[in-house]
Structure 1
Amino acid sequence: MAHAFHIPALLLGLLAALATLPLCVELALACLGRWFSSGRPAGTLLPGPLTVLIPAHNEEALIARTVQSVLAAAKADPNPVNVTVIAHNCTDNTAARAAEAGARVQPLAGPAGKGHALRHGIEIALKEGAAAIAVIDADTQVSRNLFAVLRQALAHADAAQAWYELGEPNAYGNTGQELGALAFRGMNAVRPLGRDRAGFSSGLFGNGFVLRAETIAAVPWNAYGLAEDREYHALLVLAGRRCAFAAEARVWGVAAASRDARRSQRLRWEGGRIALVRQMMAPLLRASLAGNLHALEVLLDALSLPFAFGLLLLLAALALGLFTGAEWLLAYALAGLTLCLGYVVRSARLAPHPGRAALALLAAPWFVLRKLSLVPAMLRSASRKAAWVRTSREVQP
């Protein structure tokens, strides 16, 4: 009877291996790439005026604090820094609070979505002669060295992304928030650090990134989907441009206020990734087949399964390998699971409170099972008709 199931089990194992291969490649870069030398020159800063765009939709509770944090970092930059809040379809006092905090405010009425607000602000900044344009979310605190570090990164790259953390600096969260921050850190710090050190483009993550003016002139902002940052990054790579990872600077975004809000946020992120595959797969595949390894890496990142799903499939591959005795499947599954372990440990060690992150991992199996229930909603959120929805947030105590 076991023999009758041998071939189907091997086929299932092969499918599991193929499905998890993009994720395993990305985890290998994350775990191994960080050991490479960046080989960057040091000490040079991009001169000229820097415009900071803060797109905001009904953010009156947090916008003043964000503007104050950005202005404090601007004072540490010897070059001019202009802070502009794009008050996008606001029906509250966001514009007034931003102006009181010291920002210039540009009201905007029009299609919903962060991409449209950024396009409006970018057009204004370029007309005013900005040498570079940075993007900060309206719920963010930034390190004082942010702009100096970003300018230094732009001396050898077309764009740069700061280290983006989820949660207040030095905050203590509950288990769900700790796990969410751990997963977020893996995606937005561990992986881009490995890519950057290995010579690939680190990626853009929507908050704490900067673009050279000539970069935007060469690759105009035309990204309006749920994952506008990933979409624009793919366009940059297809145009032969590179984004550096500015690991010495930090931006901290506020975590979602409730379990439902965190669920909505995760669905938007994963839905945006699926939509990106649908939209950009063909041009990325063509570029990859033409020998563009940077486009291939972006394609593999887009095709990577969510970590929880990939982990489950690797465990299934391990079980199928034991059942069939296929040494190649066992070796692949064990290598993939080793990469998963290294990735999680690295993400936990980089946490502000590594001990709390390690304890939160005890609840990870429940987190993984809950994420499986989100699959239908993820597919719906990737629909072309899916609308952008603001995530409810709260300031952490």
Structure 2
Amino acid sequence: MLITLNWFFENNSLDHYDAVVFVDADTVLDPNFLQVMNDRLLSGQKIIQAYNDIRNYEENPLTRLIYTTSFLKNLSFYEAKERLGLSSALMGVGMCVDVEILKKIGWKAFSVGEDWEYYAQLISQGKKVNFASTTKVYAQEAVSLKGGFSQRLRWAGGKFEVMGKYGLEMLWKGLKTFDIHKIDASLNILMPNYSMLLNLNIVCLLLALLFGHSFLIWWSLFLLFLQGFYFSIGLWLGKADKKMIFSVLIIPIFLLWKGVIDILSLFGFKRKKWIRTQRVSKESLT
């Protein structure tokens, strides 16, 4: 599909269009999506990323848990970056790109983490990605650990690939030129996701307990407290109901699952292989 995008942009005239919107076939857009994108383009913004929400978040504890982390990612992270004048990352769907950007840069992102790669390419060329929290694109989330395994493995593998290809180089260029946008984007690329941070902290705590290092024990416990507090903020701001709150009970299983995925993807396991993700339960299909 990525090669197809590149071929399309190179072999078709975009002169009669103002922008291109990227969505998946199974996503649903807010009714105001195109209006918000139009207003942002008229205001001078060139690349806009919509709020990436979960369509079936009430399906089970797994989708509720992922919804909370998605809420934190969108509002407490990317919306905060938008208000600080920094770039949002691209999320694969809900993206709107001005045709002038596509004419100049084209589509040269061919890794399985194409959204992260294109984001890195844009920032490297001095472009900015704005975040639009006032409109959403709703994606269907996998409803089981088994169903979401291949998808998460692909995402994690793509992120590691982009991390190795662009992360440190962009950070070094940003530091040399005092470019805050490159520094910020490189840290965004290099930064582990929420679950990986939590897993790394737990491993550090276990090692500190094993070797009896009191300072590292207390430091790890302090970081665990901060991570738990941050997650609690997401529950509070998201006005979580009882079912949403009780979804935290599956966090240990989720962390173990994600830990396996991150380790496999770090070593490139099935990084180039695309496997269709089952996003609906069997009951929903009958």
Report the TM-score, using the length of structure 1 for normalisation.
0.62
Contact 2:145/2:257, CA 8 A, preserved across alignment: no
User: Could you say if the C-alpha distance between residues 138 and 190 of structure 1 is closer, same or farther in structure 2, counting changes exceeding 3 Å?
Assistant: farther
User: Could you say if the C-alpha distance between residues 372 and 317 of structure 1 is closer, same or farther in structure 2, counting changes exceeding 3 Å?
Assistant: closer
1:175 aligns with 2:61: yes
- Aligned with residue 248 of structure 2, among 357, 361, 370: 361
User: Could you say if the C-alpha distance between residues 208 and 261 of structure 1 is closer, same or farther in structure 2, counting changes exceeding 3 Å?
Assistant: same
Contact 2:10/2:106, CA 8 A, preserved across alignment: no
- Work out the CA distance in 2 between the residues paired with 1:279 and 1:343: 30
Q: Structure 1: state its 5+ residue gaps.
A: 1-113
TM-superposed CA distance for 1:123, in Å, is 4.4
User: Could you say if the C-alpha distance between residues 185 and 225 of structure 1 is closer, same or farther in structure 2, counting changes exceeding 3 Å?
Assistant: farther
Corresponding residue number in structure 1 for 2:162: 276
Corresponding residue number in structure 1 for 2:129: 243
Q: Which amino acid aligns with 1:148?
A: Q
Residues 179-258 of structure 1: pairs in structure 2 closer than 5 A: 179-256=65-142, 258=144
- Work out the CA distance in 1 between the residues paired with 2:80 and 2:97: 21
Corresponding residue number in structure 2 for 1:379: 266
Corresponding residue number in structure 1 for 2:180: 293
- Work out the CA distance in 1 between the residues paired with 2:217 and 2:83: 30
User: Could you say if the C-alpha distance between residues 331 and 121 of structure 1 is closer, same or farther in structure 2, counting changes exceeding 3 Å?
Assistant: farther
TM-superposed CA distance for 1:150, in Å, is 1.7
Contact 2:78/2:131, CA 8 A, preserved across alignment: yes
TM-superposed CA distance for 1:282, in Å, is 4.7
User: Could you say if the C-alpha distance between residues 354 and 247 of structure 1 is closer, same or farther in structure 2, counting changes exceeding 3 Å?
Assistant: farther
- Work out the CA distance in 2 between the residues paired with 1:275 and 1:393: 25
Greater radius of gyration (CA):
1
TM-superposed CA distance for 1:221, in Å, is 1.3
Corresponding residue number in structure 1 for 2:14: 127
Contact 1:256/1:393, CA 8 A, preserved across alignment: yes
1:148 aligns with 2:11: no
Contact 1:238/1:287, CA 8 A, preserved across alignment: no
Corresponding residue number in structure 1 for 2:198: 311
Contact 1:267/1:381, CA 8 A, preserved across alignment: no
Residue aligned with 1:165, SS: strand
Aligned residues: 279
TM-superposed CA distance for 1:115, in Å, is 2.0
- Aligned with residue 157 of structure 1, among 45, 61, 67: 45
TM-superposed CA distance for 1:301, in Å, is 1.9
Q: What fraction of aligned residue pairs are identical, expressed as a percent?
A: 25
User: Which runs of 4 or more aligned residues in structure 1 lie more than 6 Å from their structure 2 counterparts after TM superposition?
Assistant: none
TM-superposed CA distance for 1:232, in Å, is 0.6
Deviation per CA, 1:139-177, whole angstroms, max 9, x where unpaired?
A: 111111101112223324221111111233xx5211122
- Work out the CA distance in 1 between the residues paired with 2:159 and 2:194: 13
User: Could you say if the C-alpha distance between residues 278 and 187 of structure 1 is closer, same or farther in structure 2, counting changes exceeding 3 Å?
Assistant: same
- Aligned with residue 137 of structure 1, among 15, 24, 34: 24
Deviation per CA, 1:358-390, whole angstroms, max 9, x where unpaired?
A: 21012212211232233442234467x622333
Residue aligned with 1:391, SS: coil
Q: Which amino acid aligns with 1:253?
A: A
Residue aligned with 1:127, SS: coil
TM-superposed CA distance for 1:193, in Å, is 1.5
TM-superposed CA distance for 1:288, in Å, is 2.0
- Work out the CA distance in 2 between the residues paired with 1:236 and 1:253: 24
Residue aligned with 2:63, SS: helix
Report the TM-score, using the length of structure 2 for normalisation.
0.84
Contact 2:89/2:129, CA 8 A, preserved across alignment: yes
- Work out the CA distance in 1 between the residues paired with 2:232 and 2:8: 39
User: Could you say if the C-alpha distance between residues 294 and 182 of structure 1 is closer, same or farther in structure 2, counting changes exceeding 3 Å?
Assistant: same
Over the residues paired in the alignment, what is the CA RMSD in angstroms? 2.9
- Work out the CA distance in 1 between the residues paired with 2:135 and 2:264: 35
TM-superposed CA distance for 1:128, in Å, is 4.5
Corresponding residue number in structure 1 for 2:54: 166
TM-superposed CA distance for 1:353, in Å, is 4.9
- Work out the CA distance in 2 between the residues paired with 1:238 and 1:210: 19
Q: Which amino acid aligns with 1:160?
A: I
Query: Greater helix share, 1 or 2?
Result: 2
Residues 96-135 of structure 1: pairs in structure 2 closer than 5 A: 114-123=1-10, 126-135=13-22
Residues 2-21 of structure 1: pairs in structure 2 closer than 5 A: none
Corresponding residue number in structure 2 for 1:23: none
